[in-house]
Structure 1
Amino acid sequence: MDNKTLSIVSYITVIGWIVAFFLGKEKADNLLKYHLRQALGVVVLSFALGIVIQVVARILPAMAMLISSVLYLISIGYMVIGILNAAGEKQKPLPIIGQWSDKTFSFIK
């Protein structure tokens, strides 16, 4: 797979990120490294939102479905934005979490 394809795959769940990381490890260019950092930020955000959903479900069971739907849509929205940026070969940070992801996951070089 080329780096553009791996950049796109990195946004598709944790498994996609792992596949992109290991298959692109030897031939990674700046585009792939950038999207690996951004996609890892989406993975961390999705995990954190999952925890929030669990807490809300225990505290406000009646509101859990509504809140979980909104939070899942946020995660999916970030994935779609990331995939579109990767497909267009753009190194544009994701809204709100993009700069944080770049700084936090700077070990991906």
Structure 2
Amino acid sequence: MSNKTKAIVAYITIIGWIIAYLDYKKSTDKSPLVNYHLGQSLGLIIFSFVLGIAVTILVSIVPSLYFLSMIVSLVSLVLLLLGIITANNETIKPLPIVGKLFEGKFNFAS
């Protein structure tokens, strides 16, 4: 699998992230592109999961805020697509809004 493909696959669900991570770990070429996008995608997965739980609790308390869960899901999807596009362009650029939170937090190069 090429480095570009690993960076793209990292954004496709947690299963894709695990596949990209395992392939990255066994490769001898530790690409900074793949390392960066593994961190960004893991951060996005964690952020979306935590935000989803928070919105679910909020909606269970105030059911009229159901539209909020749809907005959160749509924002997560858009961020995921932007991450895939960035990985496809082979650029190291953080995701909008949340990307700066995860820069330097995860290092998979070791």
Structure 2 counterpart of 1:26: 26
Letter in 2 for 1:10: A
Moved more, 15-24 or 49-58: 49-58
| Residues in 1 aligned to 2:93 and 2:33: alpha-carbon distance in whole angstroms | 10
- What is the TM-score when the length of structure 1 is the normalising length? 0.91
Report 1:47-62 matches (<5 A).
47-62=49-64
Post-superposition offset of 1:31: 0.5
- What is the TM-score when the length of structure 2 is the normalising length? 0.90
After TM superposition, which residue ranges in structure 1, 4 or more long, deviate above 3 angstroms?
Answer: none
Post-superposition offset of 1:6: 0.9
- Percent sequence identity is 40
Moved more, 70-79 or 19-28: 19-28
Per-residue CA shift, 1:23-68, capped at 9, x if unaligned? 121323111001001101110111111112211221111222x011
Unpaired stretches in structure 2, ≥5 consecutive residues: none
The alignment partner of 1:104 has SS state of coil
Letter in 1 for 2:51: L
- CA-based RMSD of the aligned residues comes to 1.1
Post-superposition offset of 1:97: 1.8
1:67 maps onto 2:68 in alignment: yes
Unpaired stretches in structure 1, ≥5 consecutive residues: none
| Residues in 2 aligned to 1:55 and 1:89: alpha-carbon distance in whole angstroms | 38
| Residues in 2 aligned to 1:62 and 1:93: alpha-carbon distance in whole angstroms | 34
| Residues in 1 aligned to 2:99 and 2:43: alpha-carbon distance in whole angstroms | 7
Instruction: Work out the number of aligned pairs and report it.
Output: 107
Structure 2 counterpart of 1:10: 10
